Structure 1
């Protein structure tokens, strides 16, 4: 048996891809409030830390603007 095992994808990267696709598909409109970290955590069944990591990348890519408060 030769070959390599598939590389696992981090949960935040999976969530990142899903959210990026939703943004590009127009699910979230410019200026519209994005769901809270807790809401995204519950919706996708991941930890708030995972959500936070995905949102940080989206912000870095300029797809969302983070506002504390």
Structure 2
């Protein structure tokens, strides 16, 4: 079974940093529109899927009520 693409996979494909990919996927205005479009296209081509649970773990937020 093939591994899921990561932000690093997209960054390597486009030739930018992982941080740039993260910002672009959140449509941050600090990343140019052209670069954002290129990153979005690469993410779609690679089959990247945002994992909300993994993001919650990185933030220390399980999403469960206290």
Q: TM-score range by the shorter chain?
A: 0.3 to 0.5
- What is the TM-score with the length of structure 2 in the denominator? 0.36
Computing the radius of gyration over CA atoms, which structure comes out larger, 1 or 2?
1
* Higher helix proportion: 2
